[in-house]
Amino acid sequence: MSEVLPTSAGPVCRHLDLSTGHLPLAERDACELYLSSGGTAGRSCLGGPYGWMIYVPTEAEDVPQDVSPELAALMVRAREQNCHYIHFDRDGSIDETLPFYD
Per-residue pLDDT at 10: 73
Residue 90 reports pLDDT greater than 60: yes
Q: Report yes or no: 86 and 6 within 8 Å, Cβ to Cβ.
A: no
| pLDDT-derived band at 12, boundaries 50, 70, 90 | confident
pTM of the model: 0.87
Per-residue pLDDT at 69: 96
Strand order of the β-sheet with 15-19 is: 15-19, 85-89, 51-55, 46-48
Looking from the CA of 33 toward its CB, the CA atoms found within 13 Å total: 10
pLDDT tens-place string over residues 16-73:
999 999 999 999 999 999 999 999 999 999 999 999 999 999 999 999 999 999 999 9
CB atoms within 10 A of CB 49: 5
